[in-house]
Amino acid sequence: MQIVRHSEQTLKTALISKNPVLVSQYEKLDAGEQRLMNEAFQPASDLFGPITLHSPSDWITSHPEAPQDFEQFFSDPYRKTPSPDKRSIYIQSIGSLGNTRLISEEYIKWLTGYCKAYFYGLRAKLLEPVPVSTTRCSFRVNENTQNLQIHAGDILKFLKKKKPENAFCIVGITMIDLYPRDSWNFVSGQASDRLGVGMFSFARYGSDFYSMRHEGKVKKLKKTSSSDYSIFDNCYIPEITSVLLLRSCKTLTHEIGHIFGLRHCQWLACLMQGSNHLEEADRRPLNLCPICLRKLQCAVGFSIVEKRRKALVRWIDDESSDTPGATPEHSREDNGNFSKLVEAFKEWKEWIIKCLAVLQK
């Protein structure tokens, strides 16, 4: 195990900059916000710790990248920011997200609510769900998993055409595995900050993706017509669990962060760290480090960090108590599971409350 630890001065420069204009901007922040962000370069901080590498296959080791400090982010001429008439994040679900309509609707409602709180100040809106056939994408059966996959690039083209006029970005989500090109095994997602589009799959976040045979898996490769989308009628859909929801929220906000121009973080333990595998993604926290938080604050324009954190706590509290009412076509078991879906967010809530204590000191 290796600890990536930067000096206090390095972290201070990465956060505040030596540019007098950016230093002045920082000094105009609310005192509580400065107090919280200054935790970045406090060695004894229990809010923001160093990055821990567990194996040579971890992202930073296997994908060397130049770090991006706040000044580099601020000065990027190609970075796109929301404008007064383009302040909406649209979410487009493709294919079923749950084994029942109720589960699909609640799952995407939770993702949208989380996205709205995370990118506080922007609007998060749902588009009407569409079946795979609507996208006219290419698809295949993966030789390793025998699971169906859809072509990520084709989906991005579909989303680009559907992007509303007032959208800052549009992101597609699916429970179907993705592949970017024929030579690749799979990809969890793809995004274009230039076009403001992204596509993400949560299929491999199911606990049994690799270990069980599912309805919709194909036991042997068979030829299908490129227009025969009926093969997706019984496609594998993982069970919606608290852990899957947590992983989905991480992926969605990480990738939208890229659309805002945030590169992979190499400063502190942070949501914007890259990940090569599920174990590394699970170690990645839900929170942004202060350096990446300042980038997001600059991009989105939320002025009070405290309001954003309170919105995140409200999301957790609301979803903990918001159990859908029973209807004839939905089982009592479904309703019981909904109330437990934010269990994996308990540590995250406790961490936010610690941050609020620093902000309000």
- Among 48-52, 86-90, 199-203, 207-211, whose mean pLDDT is lowest? 207-211
175 in the same domain as 49: no
DSSP letter assigned to residue 345: G
Containing structural domain, residue 4: 1-79+261-310+346-360
- Using pLDDT thresholds of 50, 70 and 90, give the confidence band for residue 326: very low
Q: Which of 106, 255, 280, 319 is catalytic?
A: 255
DSSP letter assigned to residue 50: -
172 in the same domain as 104: yes
Nearest to 117 by CA among 281, 249, 268: 249
135 in the same domain as 283: no
Torsion angle defined by CA atoms of residues 12, 16, 19 and 20, in that order, rounded to the nearest 10 degrees: -110
Q: CA-CA distance, 89 to 195, in Å (whole number)?
A: 13
256 in the same domain as 280: no
What does pLDDT average to over the chain? Answer: 86
Residue 86: its pLDDT value, please?
A: 93
Among 8-17, 189-198, 299-308, which range has the highest average pLDDT?
8-17
Known catalytic residue: 255? yes
- Using pLDDT thresholds of 50, 70 and 90, give the confidence band for residue 331: very low
Indicate if the pLDDT at residue 69 is higher than 70: yes
- What CATH number does the domain containing 132 carry? 3.40.390.10
351 in the same domain as 213: no
Residue 323: its pLDDT value, please?
A: 46
For residue 322, tell me if it sits in a domain.
no
- Using pLDDT thresholds of 50, 70 and 90, give the confidence band for residue 206: confident
Domain count, the chain: 2
Whole-model pTM?
A: 0.89
187 in the same domain as 241: yes
242 in the same domain as 123: yes
Give the residue-averaged pLDDT of 47-67: 89
202 in the same domain as 108: yes
For residue 325, tell me if it sits in a domain.
no
| Final residue of a structural domain among 202, 237, 260 | 260
| Triad 250, 325, 110: Cα angle to 5° | 15
H helical segments located in 214-345: 242-259, 278-283, 290-300, 305-321, 332-338
298 in the same domain as 211: no
Residue 192: its pLDDT value, please?
A: 87
For residue 104, tell me if it sits in a domain.
yes
179 in the same domain as 111: yes
- Using pLDDT thresholds of 50, 70 and 90, give the confidence band for residue 346: very high
Q: Is the distance from CB of 198 to CB of 256 less than 8 angstroms?
A: yes
206 in the same domain as 104: yes
214-272 confidence digits (pLDDT tens): 455 554 445 555 568 888 877 778 888 899 999 999 999 998 999 999 999 999 999 99
